[in-house]
């Protein structure tokens, strides 16, 4: 059974700083997803990572996947307040998405 764990669960950052959110998963997942959720809203898709070594970047966010280590990372570069949200990673098990606990990110001036 696939289990997905994120850390940290809470992250308070200063604007302009860099940080990384980690997503570990327990068994094989053929793809790894990252989502953003704003308060009271549903999920916004950020990245889908399909293969070992995959790296995708969008603005200040960069996601990577290491299937051997069963680890994905979401790196935030030069954080800005607009990035404040909860970020979820999810693995795929038989077509079902299994979510991590979420990382609540707060970017402060």
- Asked whether position 91 contacts another protein by CB under 8 A, the answer is no
- Asked whether position 109 contacts another protein by CB under 8 A, the answer is no
The Cα angle at residue 2 between residues 76 and 12, in degrees rounded to 5: 25
Residue 78 C-beta: closest distance to another protein, Å: 27
Q: How buried is 78 (Cβ within 10 angstroms: 0-12 exposed, 13-18 middle, 19+ buried)? A: exposed
- Asked whether position 88 contacts another protein by CB under 8 A, the answer is yes
Sole window of 17-25, 63-71, 72-80, 100-108 interacting with another protein (rule: CB under 8 A) = 100-108
Q: CA 69, CA 48: separation in Å to the nearest integer?
A: 18
- Asked whether position 68 contacts another protein by CB under 8 A, the answer is no
């Amino acid at each position: 059974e696939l289990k997905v764990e994120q850390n940290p669960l809470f992250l308070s950052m200063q604007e302009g700083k860099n940080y990384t959110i980690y997503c570990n998963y327990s068994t094989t997942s053929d793809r790894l997803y990252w989502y953003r959720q704003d308060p009271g809203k549903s999920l916004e898709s950020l990245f889908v990572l399909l293969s070992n070594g995959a790296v995708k970047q969008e603005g200040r966010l960069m996601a990577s996947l290491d299937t051997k280590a069963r680890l994905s990372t979401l790196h935030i570069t030069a954080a800005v307040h607009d990035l404040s949200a909860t970020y979820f990673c999810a693995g795929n098990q038989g077509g079902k998405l299994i979510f991590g606990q979420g990382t609540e990110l707060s970017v402060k001036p």
